[in-house]
Structure 1
Amino acid sequence: MLLKTLKGRHSVLLILVPIIIVSLWMGAFLHPESLTAGQDQMPLYELLRFLTAGNDFILNLIACLLLVLMAYGMVRLNEQYIFIRQRTDLPAFVFAFIATGTIALGGMHPSLFAAFVLFLSVDRVFKIYQGTATLSNSFDVGFLIGLASLFYLFAGVYILWFLMTLAVFGYFRSKEILAGLMGFIVPIFLMFAWCFWNENLPEFLHTISKLFSFHNHLGAVSVFQYSYWGILGFLVVLSSLYMLNVYEEKKISSRKYFIVLLTFFLVSALSFLFFKGAGVEQYFISIIPVTYITSHYFVLQKHSWIGEVLFYILVISSILIRFIG
């Protein structure tokens, strides 16, 4: 059975992860297109475009590498913090399938780089709960969120997520709050200083204003794409309900990690609703918690045949969407 095999620990299986991502993203390499054509972007993403000479094929290769690194990182993070009470490679495969499941995001987008940086911040957030070096880890979280916002403006809203995690972990204290806010300000201040020194601060501010005012819309979305998102939505709701059902059985740390991941997802959803410039690209960020929540359900739910059927539906729909989406 596919699910039973993939939720085990077989190092050779991890070789399949980049193969899955590359295969499902083949269209991005055969017909590379810019996902941000005609739009001004934040400075670090513009720097990336400059370094790659605006070559969409190279940018898509970098994007693919980021997805592979995040997929492997999903496994490592679970092994370190045991959010799922079992050592399993399944999060890498779940991430590989759902990360490539939105046709409109077949390529590099600033939000993908931001998602990668924000994923690194999750590790630092969990370290805060362990009570070691809370100030330096708070600073690191804030710094990473600030850095992510210089790739993708709306990533800055995750500073609110950081403050909420401090409250969840019982570290909502002036020292940790100040350390996180200082970390958040540092990269932004340095960018403002650099732009001021090079006399292009008005251009930077104009870019921020345009990104805020830009009305991002879904455009033409097929019924198959909506169906795929519906499947993911159903799995997220089902997995969350399952988590709530076994919540009291969890270790205190696992409960808090779940709340933090759920909060991460809610911040992404609210960003999409409240910022008209934040569009479907939020998908890259929101699938970080979705991967863990759904993987938890697939690994631990007791009716194996139900899990197998739902996992087959996820896998088959992730493949079909590339052909009929």
Structure 2
Amino acid sequence: MAKKISILVVDDSAFLRLLINDLLSKEEDLEVVGTATDGREAVKQTLALKPDIVLLDMNMGDYDGMFAVEQIMEKLPTPILILSSVGNTNLHQIFDALELGAVDYINKPVKGGSKLREITTELVAAVKRVAKARPRTTPVNRDGLNELHHTFDDSPNYDVIVIGASTGGPTAVEKVLLSLPANLNVPLVIGQHMPPNFILSFAARLDHMSPLRIVVGRPGMEPKPGMVIIAPGDGNMILEKRDQQVLVGFSDRDYPEYNHPSINALMYSVAEIYGPKALGVLLTGMGKDGVKGLKMIRNKGGKTIAQDEESSVIYGMPKLAYETGAAEVVMHVKEIGGYLVNCL
């Protein structure tokens, strides 16, 4: 019999600790091995029990979830899944936790702890996914922010960059974007698996941090040099050509790998419009989304890149991209931004 995934549940509500234990224990391959009531106890229990995953609340008094993430990643790097209602009101705290090394997040239902039963399927899937993650032991270094202007040729070798990412993607995307020059001479479009409300906050956060203009895609928006367009989470964003002008559109098609946003949908459209003038990048994440899209870009003559195993939180999508020949180049995430500039 396969080893069960061991889970440490951290929450200051006794009712929720019992409820989460009950929900997860119904799965044959999951086992709650301990609980904690605050961040300090979470660190102590993690060191003692060495669980496969820590399921962590954020708001817990003096020693909160941020304390736990920071200390756990320093003392015994362990995959952390945030389960907290804080994401309903303060997404910056969630993104800060991800920067420190947490892998993923789920919002608690807004009203009532018992409503947690309604997201049992999502919770179980996330626990199993995050347990496979490689915890990142060093936080994002914003000293790498590139505010300089690069000297580009008058005519770039490529006309667009498209990036796809899933679990672990927010910090990987951030690292790539912050390494790009302030005068980037092509548009960049991104498909990041993330709930709609998170994507809005994610774009606003990146726009504040980067000299590039970073926005969420809307129908009819025109991609322009130095502009970063992130696909919203309530549809499958594509690029389409109308009267020789490239504009943002949305596809009604369902994609078996992932929907809202579909990385494949975005990459297919980029491949069709830009052909050999497209640069495609597939970052960390589980599953297959983006692999076929990246392969299409390469088949059309574009340049394709996948994040390497060492720097990926989950080496799923980029691994498959490499194994199937969709990715021409594989590299550490910290090198991708510089490589893209050199390609241009």
TM surpasses 0.5:
no
Q: Which has the higher helix share?
A: 1
Q: Which has the higher strand share?
A: 2
TM-score (norm 2): 0.27
Larger RCO of the pair (alpha carbons < 8 Å, separation 6+)? 1
TM-score (norm 1): 0.28
